[in-house]
Every structure is written in C-alpha cells, then in structure tokens.
Amino acid sequence: MAVFVLILTFAVVTCLPAYAAMPSYTGDEAVYAVEEKSGDVITAQNEHKRMYPASTTKMMTTLVALDYVADKMDQQVKIGDEVSLITADSSKADLKKGDTCTWRQLFYGLLLPSGNDAALAIAKNIGRAASGDRELGTDKAIDKFVSLMNRKAAQLQLEDSHFVNPHGLHDANHYTTAADLEKISAAALENPTIRKIVQTKVYSCKLKSGQKKWINTNSLIISTNDLAKVRESSHNGKQYNPYATGVKTGHTDEAGRCLVFSSKDGDKTMVAVILHSDNQIFTQANGVINSLHSDFSRINWGKPSGYYRSVQLKHVHFADDNVLKLYFKEEASSMVETSEKSAYTTRLQLDNQLFTKKKAGVYRLNEDLKSGQQVGVLKVYKNHQLVKKLRLKSKADTKTRNFVDYLLFFVIAGVIIWLILYLYAKRTAYLRRQRLRRHRQRNERASARRTQKR
C-alpha cells in the first residue's frame, strides 16, 4: 500500500507544471529584466535608482565605439601610452604600447577579460577620430570620448546616467540605473559582432607583445565541459545556464557585484541587469533566466504578418476600399506569467479624430488616411488595469467622400433613374403595341367569320 501511495504521489507531482522561483534581492540591489520581443518587464526592483555600474560601463563604451567602427572591425589600431594609465591591479587585456590590433580584437579584450586597457585604447582612438585630430593628446582624446558617452545617453533618453570614464572604475559622478543600463546593453547587442563576442568563452590572438588568451568573466556561459580551456580562471562550471548568451560583469567595492546578462529560449529573448549584488549574483541571474523559461509564456495579439483585424468604414471615397485592415506598428505580444494568462484582455480604440463609431465594427471616416499612419491603439489590460498600448496603423491610402463623390453619386443615380424610366417607357410602349396587335388580330378574325357567314 505504501509503495502504491508513493508511486501515485510521484505521478501526480511529475504531471504538475514546473515552476522556477524568481530570486529574491536585498533592498540595496537594483534589478531590471526585459523580454526584448514584447518589451515586457519580467522582474524589477530599484530599477530607476542611481547606482555605480563598475565595468558594466563597458557596454556604453561599446555602443559609442560602434557609431564609428561598426563597419571597420578589421581596421588596424595602434596601442599607445594610454594603457599605462591603469593601475597594476586593474582588470586588463595585457595590451602593451606598440601593439597593433584590430577593432574586433579590441572589443574581445574589452568584453571578455574586462580590459580597462582596451577601454582606454578604444576611447583614445575614437576620441581622436571624433575630434578630427589624429594627434590629439591622450587625456583630451579620452575626455572627448567620455563626452560622446554622455551625448549617447542623451540620445537614448536615459533617465539618470552620467559617465566620467570608459572603464567604470569608481567615481562618485559616474553612475547609471538598472533600467538605463538595460537599454544601453540591448542597443549594443543589436550589433551581430558584439552578440558573437559576448557569447565567446575564450579568445586567443597574437600581438607584438606576445600571445594573448582572454577568458570571459561571465560564469553563466562557462560549463563544466569548458573548464579545461579556462583553467587559468576561477570558473567552476556550476553557474552555467544553457539559455545564457552573454554579456558583461563588473565589480568595485563601491558598486558591489554587477552583471548585465542575456538569454535566448526559443522565442523568448531577455536582457537583464543586476547591480550592487554579492557573490550570489550568478545564482540570482540563473533564477531570472530559469523563471522566464518555466513560468512565462507569450500572448500574440496579432498574426505573424502584423495583421490584427478589419473594420467597416462609411463615408469613404468611391474608389477606395471601405474595409480598413488594421496592422500593428511594432511587435504585438505580451510575455506573461502562464498562470495569469486568463487575466489579460484587450480593447480596440481608434483615433476619435479620424473615426466616429456608428455601431460595433462600423466607423465613419472623418479624415483621409495615409498608408502606415497610426489610426489607433490596442489597449491591453491585466485584471482591468491598463498595462500596455500597442499602436495600430493603416496599410493603404483611404480618402473620405468628397464633392466629386457626391456629384458622381447623383450622376450615377440620375443615369440609373433615367435608365429605369427609359426601360419602363420602352416596356409600356411594347405592351401597348402588343395589345393593339392582339386587338387588331381579334378584329380581323371577327371580320373573317362574318364574311364566311355571308
């Protein structure tokens, strides 16, 4: 009996859906995780609080540099005295003055071993290029690059970020937020070369100063099968996650442990940030990734083509289609906790300046529409609380009815009426002739009978 109960219990448990608990955080930590396709926030805490980013700063360094060298990855770069500006205990790629490497190699040196020397080399060379002065002094060139970092922050409309160096070593005026850093990192990861680099476990190259071997500091992508290749590091393979795809670690005493990480699980793609954590940061990151994998699923609000639905239009130009096909202007899905799917509802809201609702599914067109023009939104609610607005657009030019339409209407109506009257008159005349013919025939037959009688 006991064995039967044990077997039954095991069967029930294994049939239940598996859930991975979202990790907990201390009050000092900042967390922000976004599923990129939907734009939905998976988890957040203190995401708008000003924090020190440490070496995760290098995501902004990468993003700014890409503006100048995205199509020049194999261009040669000369390393100068800028690499001597870092302290001996600084994380570095071991670049030496006189080395020559490509931009691609510099990004590997920046993002895998978190080379502060690589950050300074990038900053100096980009700063000179941006200023148009190839002889600009090292300090001024780096300052120029830092100004580009802050200009990029303004372009991205970051809410509370300011940078004073390209590597992230502590400065009280060097700060960001978890939400800002997620936006920076997501933008940098749009570049396919950077996506490949941050997934690379080990990279080797030979420079003038010797052979270099750069090991990725991100434990999420190092498995036990990789340990032989990274024996010089502290990796043990226990924090490996098969869905992890990058991106950058950071640490200073003031910033604590920092991590930007990304994952891909089927159609679920995430970029996330944890700031001011401790040695459990990779365990926390694993918890977020695994929770997204186990506990969340996607609701698609439209077709793969972007089509949502059609509505009937009144007061439309005769030559145009009176059916308006609504398409989404961007990705239209929600990443939600699977157990809460039924809590989500939607409501269509068309622009009341463009349309007047006549009845369900039927609208009067008030203004001309252009192809691609936003015509309304689909509102997404969770338990009757608005959580998202998805923009809808038209796919064709559609004009309202005008004077020519009405004139044409009356002309066509007049022609139809005239044609009806004409046909009626023709029919009436035809019937009259038929009656006269039959009457004449009857008279002729009667006359013939009278003649025969005589």
Residues annotated in a binding site: 248
CA distance 54 to 240: 23
CA distance 140 to 128: 9
CA distance 109 to 114: 7
CA distance 306 to 302: 6
CA distance 57 to 49: 16
Catalytic residue among 58, 268, 388, 393: 58
Residue 314 among the catalytic residues = no
Catalytic residue among 38, 91, 92, 114: 114
CA distances (Å), 144 to each of 48, 104, 133, in order?
27, 22, 11
Which residue has 């270099």 as its token pair? 212
> Residue 81 in contact with residue 95, Cβ under 8 Å?
no
Which residue has 């002309």 as its token pair? 411
Give φ, ψ of 25 to 5 degrees.
-135, 155
N-terminal to C-terminal alpha carbon distance within the chain: 125
Q: Where are the beta strands (DSSP E) in 8-167?
A: 30-35, 40-45, 76-78, 100-102
Annotated binding-site members for substrate:
248
Residue 210 amino acid letter:
G
Q: Is the sign of the CA dihedral 86, 87, 90, 96 positive or negative?
A: positive
Residue 339 among the catalytic residues = no
Q: Taking Cα atoms as reference points, which of 71, 134, 73 lies closest to residue 101?
A: 73
Provide the token pair at 179. Answer: 């939400």
CA distance 66 to 335: 30
Residue 131 among the catalytic residues = no
Neighbour-count burial of 90, counting CB atoms closer than 10 A to its CB (0-12 exposed, 13-18 middle, 19+ buried)? middle
Catalytic residue among 38, 55, 161, 334: 55
* Cβ atoms within 10 Å of 188's Cβ, excluding its own: 26
CA distance 415 to 404: 16
CA distances (Å), 349 to each of 30, 278, 352, 354, 357, in order?
36, 46, 8, 11, 10
| Active-site residue set | 55, 58, 114
